[in-house]
Amino acid sequence: MLPAIRRNRVDSLFKDFMFDDVLSNLFETPKNLISEATSRLSNFSETKEGFELSIEVPGYEKSELAISVDNSILIIRGKQVVDEKTKRQFSCSYSLPRAADFSKARADLKNGILTLSIPKVESAKAREITIN
């Protein structure tokens, strides 16, 4: 067991070192660490026929955007050179259900909103079953 004076120093050191810094910075992220992806607004919805994802990409042209799929993970990347020294880039990924038919997906860019429409595979679409 530590003597009381020594224990108070250890407790104080632990408190000062760990909790004051950690707790005060827990919800504050330095501005230079915030990527564009964390501030993008997106909307995902599911219908009977498929899935729709809309994401804000203001200032990006379609030639500056790339969309790919890897194992039902939809990845959207944007890369833009503003001037010689400044580059803007972001990357977002979304895990979609296996029912998504990526081979028939469509993407449209209008007024800074990228909209992806991804139909469901036929076997996953809702249908009625008749009773014999």
What range does the domain containing 95 cover?
Answer: 35-124
- pLDDT for res 11: 52
- Same-domain pairing of 28 and 40: no
pLDDT higher than 80, residue 86: no
Looking at per-residue pLDDT, the higher value among 48 and 17 belongs to: 48
User: Torsion-angle region of residue 41: left (phi > 0), alpha (psi -120 to 50) or beta?
Assistant: beta
Residue 130 lies in a domain: no
- Same-domain pairing of 70 and 112: yes
Residue 17 lies in a domain: yes
Tally of domains in the chain = 2
- Same-domain pairing of 39 and 100: yes
- Same-domain pairing of 62 and 112: yes
- Same-domain pairing of 62 and 111: yes
pLDDT tens-digit readout, 25-37: 444 443 333 345 4
Is pTM beyond 0.85? Reply is: no
- Find, among 49, 44, 78, the residue nearest to 63 by Cα: 78
Walk across the sheet containing 87-95 and list its strands.
65-70, 73-81, 87-95
pLDDT tens-digit readout, 40-66: 778 889 888 899 999 999 989 999 999
